[in-house]
């Protein structure tokens, strides 16, 4: 499971002209699920996301987590994070999980992150054509792969 986490001052996702999710300060999380991912990957990654200390403290040092700044999460499923570009110029997505695996894990991720944060998070819609807008604060962008824990 791969997450691209962007610290944002605001972010939104629009589907067919309608804003589906919107946050102020927090994280825009792009989540890529592969066919070997499990609930264990999800929980490990979710705790990492919630615990990331990348918000500025009184001294301007990246030392605060989401809870400390009353931040929110906008979670977007993005299978293209598992693109392989080893051969040719057209990416292969065979490592991306099929919907029957990815949808339940994506829904579990929503529940897990909401529970860990202590309030509902905002989301896109699995498989939809989404327009994502954000103001990356910093910029701060962090990539975490649950398969690279050590």
Q: Which residues are catalytic?
A: 78-80
| DSSP per-residue codes, 73-97 | EEEEE-GGGG-B-SSSSS-B-TTBP
The C-alpha atoms of residue 107 and residue 92 are separated, in whole angstroms, by 25
Pair 144, 49: CB distance under 8 Å: yes
Q: Which of 91, 66, 67 is nearest to 5 (CA)?
A: 66
What is the second-level CATH architecture of the domain 2-139?
3-Layer(bba) Sandwich (3.50)
In order along its 150 residues, the chain shows pLDDT tens digits of 999 999 999 999 999 999 999 999 999 999 999 999 999 999 999 999 999 999 999 999 999 999 999 999 999 999 999 999 999 899 999 999 999 999 999 999 999 999 999 999 999 999 999 999 999 999 999 999 999 987
Query: pTM, whole model, 2 decimals?
Result: 0.95
């Amino acid at each position: 499971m791969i997450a691209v986490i962007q610290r944002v001052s605001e972010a939104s996702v629009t589907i067919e002209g309608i804003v589906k999710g919107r946050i102020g300060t927090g994280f825009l999380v792009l989540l890529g699920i592969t066919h070997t991912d499990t609930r264990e990957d999800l929980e490990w990654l979710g705790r990492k996301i919630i615990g990331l200390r990348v918000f500025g403290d009184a001294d301007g040092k990246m030392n605060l987590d989401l809870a400390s700044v009353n931040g929110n999460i906008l979670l977007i499923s993005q299978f293209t994070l598992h693109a392989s570009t080893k051969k040719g110029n057209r990416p292969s997505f065979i490592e991306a999980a099929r919907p029957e695996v990815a949808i339940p894990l994506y829904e579990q991720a929503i529940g897990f992150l909401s529970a860990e944060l202590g309030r509902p998070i905002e989301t896109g819609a699995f498989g939809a054509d989404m327009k994502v807008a954000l103001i990356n604060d910093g910029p701060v962008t962090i990539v975490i792969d649950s398969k690279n824990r050590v």
